[in-house]
Structure 1
Amino acid sequence: MSLNRVVRRGMTVAAALTATAAACLTAASTASAAPGIQLPNPHIGWDYQIGGAYTPPAGVKIVSRDYTADPAPGLYNICYVNAFQTQPKKEGDWDSDLLLKNSKGQVVYDGKWGEAILDIRTEDKRKRIAEKVNGWIDTCAAKGFQAVEPDNYDTYDRYQDLLDPSQAEDLITRLSQHAHSKGLAIAQKNAPDLAKDHAKTGLDFAVAEECGRYNECEKYTKAYGSRVYVVEYTDSGLKKACSAWGDKLSIVRRDENVKPKGHEEYVRKTC
């Protein structure tokens, strides 16, 4: 837990605060999973391979891969699914009314990635979206993954004029319940401000993009202890994450498009 915003009152107070933070981190790190659910071990080597699978580097014990890929033998495998947005150019795979539309009736896209936003504003639509995503979660379980990572939980934060966090929490809760019923742990992907609600939503650990760069890692560690798996996309972000959290969290620096080893864009670094 960072003490950067705490007014200094002497070494005794600072030491007490540090001890309290360490105790909180340890308690969260050792929290028990639901019966039959295997949580990833904290602070061990990990790799982020959602853009294409490849042989994990030496020392890697945890890997995240797309649900269409196979898990890495002998490792703890996290299964990536896009739960709040479509994959690029895949909006045709969804019922048209499940695509979020603006006041002009136009489909809303995440401009950076070309992904259509899913419409989570009604209970009926959230139920139908969950049914489709849960089908992918079934695939994850059948392939032997140990956990699932539903992406874009934070979409509501980028489209606040159309979506709100309660809708996102309702959908993620549905996914959590289904994942647990299949024996899978489930990760919170981004949305640091919602980490405090993890007990309500059923989330077990966190996959955090650029929490070092944006000074958000503490929001996750308060909820999940050392079971926070950090992906940075810049050298400066990696440096910040490693400096503040390298002795507590699993941290990897990847290229932004998460290309497999051998591709010209491929980048992988650790602390």
Structure 2
Amino acid sequence: MLCALVSLTATACSGGGPADEPSAGAPAGTPEPWRPEPGLDWQWQLNGTLDPDVDVPVYDIDGFDHGADVVEALHGRGVRVICYINVGAWEDWRPDAADFPEELRGRGNGWEGERWLDIRERDVLRPLLAERFDMCAEKGFDAVEPDLVDGYLNDTGFPLTADDQLAYNRMVAELARERGLSVGLKNDLDQIPELLDDFDFAVNEECAAFGECARLRPFIEAGKAVFHVEYELAAEEFCAETTALGLSSLVKRWDLDAWREAC
């Protein structure tokens, strides 16, 4: 899901997120990716003028629509910042939209200006996603939230299989980690057992509404955060369950503006 975003004009603050030591197998100068633990409160805003003052340790914001100054300002008060990037659908308003070949653009996904991508064409999509993830890294983001990584469950216009999705999602995770970014698995509950080791956290929409939150337990048991949102349920209808599971749960409006209600 994607909404056009109005960037925050912010004064850059000194300092960044907490420094991490490089891992033994990482190239020189590559930081160890941030590993968010269960229970972290968060703010998810993809629309409207960014509210930079929510008192939480994690923000998830659009990677294209915010500059390094915004990320640095959030880092300046100790906030980790996740870069939202759509990897499963073409979006006609993005500055790199013309780089995606027409033949890779499938059916619309229900959101204006978006069409599913043919994720079987990994050799074509890999350098395009690499440029997007480079952008996230260069702006100083700590992590990536790659959206729409369950196209094989949808009517995309392409005969996508579960194996196609696994291969694509692993490629996405690899691209993020090569850049020192942690990476979240967005929805795609069916493939959690196969992808748990490839992803550092999860982002989920409406698991409570569909009675599926327990399926996210492997992330929690592995010490990995699950950032969760409901749109149609009131907090009192699900917070007891999801808090007990260890999820970081919010109620949000569908347009993902600044408003939030946390469990």
Establish whether TM, by shorter chain, passes 0.5.
yes
Aligned positions of 1:184-195 closer than 5 A: 184-195=181-192
Contact 2:60–2:82 (8 Å) recurs in 1:
yes
Match of 1:165 in 2: 162
Contact 2:47–2:255 (8 Å) recurs in 1:
yes
Corresponding letter in the other structure for 1:97:
E
Aligned-partner SS, 2:81: strand
Match of 1:9 in 2: none
TM superposition score normalised by structure 2: 0.76
Q: 2:174 pairs with 166, 171, 177, which one?
A: 177
Q: 1:44 pairs with 16, 40, 43, which one?
A: 40
Corresponding letter in the other structure for 1:109:
G
Report the alpha carbon displacement of residue 159 of structure 1 after superposing the two structures with TM.
2.1
Corresponding position: 1:242 with 2:239: yes
Q: 2:100 pairs with 94, 103, 117, which one?
A: 94
Residues of 2 paired with 1:134 and 1:149: CA distance? 14
Aligned-partner SS, 2:160: coil
Aligned-partner SS, 1:235: coil
RMSD: 2.2
Q: Over residues 34-73 of structure 1, what are the superposed CA-to-partner deviations in whole Å (9 max), with x where a residue is unaligned?
A: 7612111320211101224321412x11110111214222
Aligned-partner SS, 1:86: strand
Aligned positions of 1:61-140 closer than 5 A: 61-68=57-64, 69=66, 70-71=70-71, 72-73=74-75, 74-89=78-93, 92-100=98-106, 108-121=107-120, 125-140=121-136
Report the alpha carbon displacement of residue 199 of structure 1 after superposing the two structures with TM.
4.3
Residues of 1 paired with 2:261 and 2:92: CA distance? 27
Contact 1:77–1:146 (8 Å) recurs in 2:
yes
Matched pairs, number: 220
Residues of 1 paired with 2:23 and 2:164: CA distance? 24
Residues of 1 paired with 2:105 and 2:220: CA distance? 32
Specify the structure having the higher radius of gyration (Cα).
1
Contact 1:127–1:171 (8 Å) recurs in 2:
no
Q: 2:137 pairs with 132, 141, 145, which one?
A: 141
Contact 2:166–2:195 (8 Å) recurs in 1:
no
Q: Over residues 171-219 of structure 1, what are the superposed CA-to-partner deviations in whole Å (9 max), with x where a residue is unaligned?
A: 111121121111111100011111111246x111100011121122211
Match of 2:29 in 1: none
Aligned-partner SS, 2:207: coil
Aligned-partner SS, 1:133: helix
Residues of 1 paired with 2:47 and 2:212: CA distance? 24
Which runs of 5 or more residues in structure 1 are unaligned?
Answer: 1-32, 101-107, 262-266
Q: 1:256 pairs with 239, 245, 254, which one?
A: 254
Higher percent of residues as helix: 1
TM superposition score normalised by structure 1: 0.74
Change (3 A) 1:132 1:211: same
Change (3 A) 1:183 1:169: same
